[in-house]
Structures are given as C-alpha cells and as structure tokens.
Chains A and B, each alone.
Chain A
C-alpha cells in the first residue's frame, strides 16, 4: 500500500488509528493491532512477501534468545549471516552472477527473484540489533515488541532506519499520554507536507525527468535537456524520499511514536561531509556506527581512513541497488568525503557560496551516475552537461523546476517543523486540511506513483 493512495489516506490510516486508540488501554492488544495493520500494509503488494520479514524477525529473535542463554557470539554471527544471506539472495544474486559472467565469459543461469519491498531496510535493522547485542548494548525484548520494532509499517518499507532502543521503549508508552493533541496535530501536518511534496512536485517532476533519462539511453541529450534532466532528478529524488519520510513520521506520530529525522535540507550543504549529515541521516548514522567505525574510521592514520571511507561509501552505493553504477556513485562520494576532509585539515575554508556551488556540482554529477543506469549513458550525459557537445536547448519546465528548487532548499524538515516552527492556530489547520484535500483529489486522477526508494 502506498502512503499517498486514497485507500491509505481515507480508509487504512483512519481505521488503523481508531482501532489502535480503541485498544489503547491494553498494551498487548494495541501492539497486535499495529502488527496486524503493518502486515496488511506490507502484504498489500504481495501477500506472499509477508513471510520473509516475519521469518527473518523470528529467526533473529530466536538467535538472540539462544545467545542470551548460551553467551556464545557464534549465534549472533549466524544471525547476521542469515540476514545478509536473505538480502544477498533476493537483491544481489543475479547481480553477482552477471558480474561473474561478464568477467569470465561463462554463461550462468539467473535466479530472477522478485525483490521483496523494504528488504534492505528491515534486514539492516535486524543486523543492527544483533551487532548491538554483540557489543552488549541490546537486551532481549518480548517477541511482540521486537516484531513491532521491525514491522511498524510507517518505517518498514523505506525507513527511517530505526534502532531498537529508539523505538521499543516508545511502543510501550500509552498513546493517550500527555501531548496527545500535539502529536496528532503535528502528525497530520507533517503527513500533509509529505503528501503534497510527493503528489504535487515529485510525481510531476517524474513526468519529464523519466522520458529524458530514457531518451539519454539512445540519444545524446542537448545541453538544455541534460540540465533539465539532472536538476529535475536531483529535486525529484530529494522531494520523493523526504516526502516518504514525512508521511512515515506523520503516520507514526498518530500512533504516538516519534521516528528519527532523515533529511535536513541537504541541498543547503556547503561541503560534502555536511551533505551526508543532512541526507538520509538514518542511513548515514547506521553506516557510521556499524561499518565506518568498526573499519577503523579516522583513528588509525590517513591510509586506514581513506580505506574505511571508500569501503563504507562503496557499500552504501551497493546498498542502494545491485549495479556497478551505484557502487561508482558511492565511491564518488567516498572520494568527495576524503577530499573534503583533506581540504578542511588545511585550515583554509572556502567562502560559503563557493563551497555550496562546488558541493552541489559534485552532488549533481553523483546523481547522474545514480540515475543513468549504465556508464555509457552517464558518460554521454556528462558530455552534454559540460557543454562540450554544444550549448543548444534551454532549461525546460522552468516553473516546476523552480518550485521544486524552492521547496527543496527551504521547506523545513519534519523535526524542524515539529520542534520549532509549527504553532497551533486555526488558520494553519484549515490550510493544511485544504492542502490534504487537494492532494487526495490529485492522486485520484490515476494510479499512484511508487516512491523511488522502494526499489532499494
């Protein structure tokens, strides 16, 4: 089920919230209600897929229990391997086979497995729990609470990636506790903000971005087309994913749960390190804590730092998709982080505007790799963008691109809105409600468009 569908907004969400509050006095009952709702939400795409997260959750919990009783880390390592194997099988098996085939020239069969939606997200959450147990930072939770930590539908499909100790204590709290009105009010507004960004901007951008990137696979784009495609995609990706996050945070608030921040106006970053502190924050933190720091981080000299950064970012790219273009995108950012780190050590900071310009150019080049699909298309687009093939054509869809740029740069994040900006006034409530109605009518025009990050 999609957040921005009428089915979700007009039926699923109201019914789930009503049932949740009707069962609020009973902890077990309300948690089962939420688990049931989450399974329906997830199974809406394909009921068979429900088996996979449930099986991974059950296996992980049993393994954690075995570790608790035996104290043997081998159990935890087994659990990590099981979760990685699931992720690897469904997401990377055909990619590995193709890569081996390309390198060896030996024809290999393909598995052609359908990628279960959200597998990258829930597998990472389970792995983080097992690693935390290894570090002595994760207790054994009751199965119901543990299952809900992973299954809670607002974050199940595309994050934010939440840690057990951020979420499970909240799930035990009575949703009717003090601050109920504020959670409901801010949740509704934050959800509406994401709804509008998705339906009115991201999906509109997709209508010209997708054909341009499609065209680029067979024809060289002109200068104007290339810049339209890349700028359009840059805004589309941020708006699409941050919209998902806001709808997730808004929905979760209606159940009394606060999910972590994921985006904080990343296109205002003046260096690439800052960009990664603002972009997909929950993934950045996960990679930092479970990959970069265990690899040594910056504690063991320059060479180790470079290696840790490149490995982390290469895997970050691979996490986004089973393809070498994603790896190249990750490595590109790894190099950027290393270069930025080196420059900052020189102690000669650039003027903010110059830093911002360089950072955005760097990010845009990265998005070409991220979206282009293959190196030939990416190379052709780079040539078009650089003007080496001429500067014919003009930026297309200017009003929409400008509106998208404005919202991408200036719209507050969900947490900024909740913590600092939104005050309860009747006019705000009415404007937000009208915006939500407009979005419901807009999304009713056709089949809702999937979120980009669902493919990861």
Chain B
C-alpha cells in the first residue's frame, strides 16, 4: 500500500512551476486580504465608518496617529498643545482649577504647523474648546519654520474630514501591530500605552536621576555657565523689520478661529537656560522681538501670555532638568499649579520663574 507523505514532507516536494506560481499568488493574495480585513475590522485608530464595536484604548505611542482618536471621542472640552516641553503637564491637575476636562495633546517634536493642524481638527470635531493652552517653545520663533512643517511624517489623511480615504492607509505593519494589541487588550493581555487624555510620563524614573550626567547633556561637556544679567541688544527698525517668524501667522490663525468664549492661554515653556538664546547676544534680541510680536497677537485676540522661557531660578537650576528641553516631573506638577495661579488668579510668580506678559 502506498503511504501518503506527511504535510511537511509534501511542502518540500518538487511541483510544477505553474503550481508553484499559483501557490505563491494565492498565499500572497490570501494573506494580504486576511491582514487587511483584520485591521479594518479592529480599526486600530478608531476612525473607520464600520468596525467591530469595542473599546479602543491608546495602545501606541505614535502620537500623531493616536491623538485624532482622543479628539473625536469628545470626552474632552479643553486641550493643551505643544511639543515634548509640555507633555509632562498632567491634564488631570488642570481639570479642577479650570473647571474643564483637559486632554494634553502635546507631541514629541511637534512643530508649530502641526499644532495649528491639531487645534483646527479639534475645532472641527468638538467645537470651541473651553480652555486652550498653546505651549510655546523655540520652534515658534524659528525663522525657517515654514520650511519644515513636520519632522515625523504627519499623517494628513487622519486630520482631514474624510473617513473613507483612511482605508487606503491602513495596510501596514504599525496598524497590524496595534490591531493585535487591541485584541490582546480585549483578552486582558495588553495594557494601554498612553492614558486616554494623552498624558504619559516619558522621562526616566526620578530614582535614576544623575546630576553629573545631566550636566554633561545640558552644557555639552563644558563648564556650567551663569547667564549675564544684561538686556538683549537693541535692534534698529530695519533689523526688526528684517526678522521673520513664519509660525506666528499660524499662531494668529489659531487665535482667530477660537471662539471669544474660549479661555486661550499662550504658555512659553521653561526650557533650560542653555537652550535659550544666550542673554546679551543677537539671538536674544531676535527672540525678544519674536516674544514682543507674540504678546501683540495675544493682546489683539484677547489671549493670555505667560512666559516661563526666561532667565529665572527655575531655568538656571540644572537640577530641575533632564536635558536642555525637558524638565523633571516635580517641575511639571509645579507648572500645572502655576498655570492656574497665573491665569485664573493672575498671581505673579513668587520667585520670578514666570512673567505674566499679557494678563
């Protein structure tokens, strides 16, 4: 009696080329179809018109892809946008003092243009926010901000208002991975990566803090320097006119579109002095001009402007930072507290760590 070969042995047997091509094509087409169907049914970014009805927590740290979902959930009536310099501000700390439901939608290396896109997305999908905090940083004063709109591949298709074109962008490894995680979450095998209000601590545990190492990051291996107490050099009218800050047009477009009922706060975040324009330099003069124009915009559109990006006990103390841009967790808690103090009570800083530029 002829014995049939086992499965693995059959897979290694020579076959005709036609059959070989047919197996390849059917495996490829079948595999692609199955993966795609799995992704669109699971709907990893909670954005498709038709998908399986279950909870979709934030299971990816790719913020540009996950934050539209937070906006569309309509669970939040207020938001913070900014770069990683604002990510550590816990929205839950702001909810009670401001009487609002905050999401912190700040992203790593978020450009000014991306912040404008996100605010506009919020306005279209949720309406005017109760409180809008735009966390400013040095990118808003970049003279070439309009030449690099994004540093991380901004998914434009997620920020338009057409859910149908999203089907064209989901056949990829990232979407498949998140889909698997979502199924894992339903089975109790996976945990959310970012809290649903966008908050996530991205700095190392405080127990790992090493001041000597931090100082190397802050000062590039050189000696720590004390900033001189000098005003920025005066600029002539021609010099001032020659300065261009393209991102401020985007800032104005944000301010123009928010409702008069929105409490809008421009908060210049406290980067370490080593990351600020050094006092007394031409760069500091340019920075001062940029800040003056921001203040004018804030006044024109009835927004508040609070500036932490100054020479202060906060920004000159190396122990407050991990690196030139990122402060430590206790500083973030202090910032949230000071935000409420400065905006709601208009209380000046006790130690000069912030200035209320436009009350």
Q: Which residues of A are at the interface with B, using a C-beta cutoff of 8 A?
A: 6, 10, 179-182, 184-186, 188-189, 423-430, 432-434, 436-438, 440-447
Complex alpha-carbon distance, A429 and B27, angstroms: 8
Question: Knowing that A10-B171, A181-B21, A437-B31 are A-B contacts, what are 7 other residue pairs whose CB atoms are under 8 Å apart, sorted by A's residue number?
Answer: A184-B21, A424-B15, A427-B12, A429-B21, A433-B23, A433-B25, A434-B27
Interface pairs (19), CB distance under 8 Å: A6-B171, A181-B16, A182-B17, A184-B17, A188-B25, A424-B14, A424-B15, A425-B13, A425-B14, A426-B11, A426-B12, A426-B19, A429-B21, A429-B27, A430-B24, A434-B27, A441-B176, A444-B171, A444-B175
Question: Given the known A-B contacts A188-B25, A440-B32, are A430 and B172 also in contact in the complex, defined by CB atoms under 8 Å?
Answer: no
Q: Which residue of B lies closest to A438 (CB)?
A: B173
Among B20, B28, B171, point to the contact of A185 (Cβ < 8 A).
Answer: B20
Complex alpha-carbon distance, A447 and B152, angstroms: 11
Complex alpha-carbon distance, A445 and B27, angstroms: 22
Complex alpha-carbon distance, A159 and B348, angstroms: 69
Complex alpha-carbon distance, A94 and B10, angstroms: 62
Would B18 and A437 count as touching, CB distance under 8 A?
A: no
Would A425 and B20 count as touching, CB distance under 8 A?
A: yes
Question: Given the known A-B contacts A433-B27, A441-B172, are A185 and B10 also in contact in the complex, defined by CB atoms under 8 Å?
Answer: no
Complex alpha-carbon distance, A189 and B19, angstroms: 14
**Which residues on B sit within 8 Å (CB–CB) of A430?**
11, 23-24, 27
How many Å from the CB of A223 to the closest CB on chain B? 19
Would B21 and A188 count as touching, CB distance under 8 A?
A: yes
Complex alpha-carbon distance, A322 and B15, angstroms: 50
Among B19, B20, B21, B28, point to the contact of A437 (Cβ < 8 A).
Answer: B28
How many Å from the CB of A357 to the closest CB on chain B? 37
Complex alpha-carbon distance, A188 and B17, angstroms: 11
Q: Provide the main secondary structure of the chain B interface.
A: helix
Among A179, A186, A441, point to the contact of B35 (Cβ < 8 A).
Answer: A441
How many Å from the CB of B109 to the closest CB on chain A? 15
Complex alpha-carbon distance, A17 and B238, angstroms: 64
**Which residues on A sit within 8 Å (CB–CB) of B28?**
433, 436-437
Interface check B153, CB cutoff 8 A: yes
Q: Which residue of B lies closest to A7 (CB)?
A: B168
Question: Given the known A-B contacts A424-B14, A440-B171, A445-B174, are A181 and B35 also in contact in the complex, defined by CB atoms under 8 Å?
Answer: no
Would A424 and B172 count as touching, CB distance under 8 A?
A: no
Among A181, A442, A446, point to the contact of B20 (Cβ < 8 A).
Answer: A181
How many Å from the CB of A33 to the closest CB on chain B? 20
Q: Which residues of B are at the interface with A, using a C-beta cutoff of 8 A?
A: 10-21, 23-25, 27-28, 31-32, 35, 153, 169, 171-176
How many Å from the CB of A253 to the closest CB on chain B? 11
Question: Given the known A-B contacts A428-B20, A429-B23, A437-B35, are A445 and B14 also in contact in the complex, defined by CB atoms under 8 Å?
Answer: no
Would A181 and B27 count as touching, CB distance under 8 A?
A: no
Give me the 3 closest cross-chain CB pairs, A-B, nearest first. A444-B172, A181-B18, A181-B17
**Which residues on B sit within 8 Å (CB–CB) of A189?**
24
**Which residues on B sit within 8 Å (CB–CB) of A425?**
11-15, 20
Complex alpha-carbon distance, A441 and B173, angstroms: 5
**Which residues on B sit within 8 Å (CB–CB) of A181?**
16-21
Q: Which residue of A lies closest to B174 (CB)?
A: A445
Complex alpha-carbon distance, A443 and B176, angstroms: 13
How many Å from the CB of A421 to the closest CB on chain B? 14
Complex alpha-carbon distance, A430 and B174, angstroms: 23
**Which residues on B sit within 8 Å (CB–CB) of A427?**
11-12
Q: Which residue of A lies closest to B39 (CB)?
A: A441
Among B20, B25, B173, point to the contact of A445 (Cβ < 8 A).
Answer: B173
Question: Given the known A-B contacts A424-B17, A429-B27, are A442 and B173 also in contact in the complex, defined by CB atoms under 8 Å?
Answer: yes
Complex alpha-carbon distance, A425 and B171, angstroms: 29
Complex alpha-carbon distance, A444 and B12, angstroms: 32
Complex alpha-carbon distance, A441 and B178, angstroms: 13
Would B24 and A429 count as touching, CB distance under 8 A?
A: yes
**Which residues on B sit within 8 Å (CB–CB) of A10?**
32, 171
How many Å from the CB of A389 to the closest CB on chain B? 18
**Which residues on B sit within 8 Å (CB–CB) of A432?**
24
**Which residues on B sit within 8 Å (CB–CB) of A185?**
17-18, 20-21, 24
**Which residues on A sit within 8 Å (CB–CB) of B16?**
181, 424
**Which residues on A sit within 8 Å (CB–CB) of B12?**
425-427
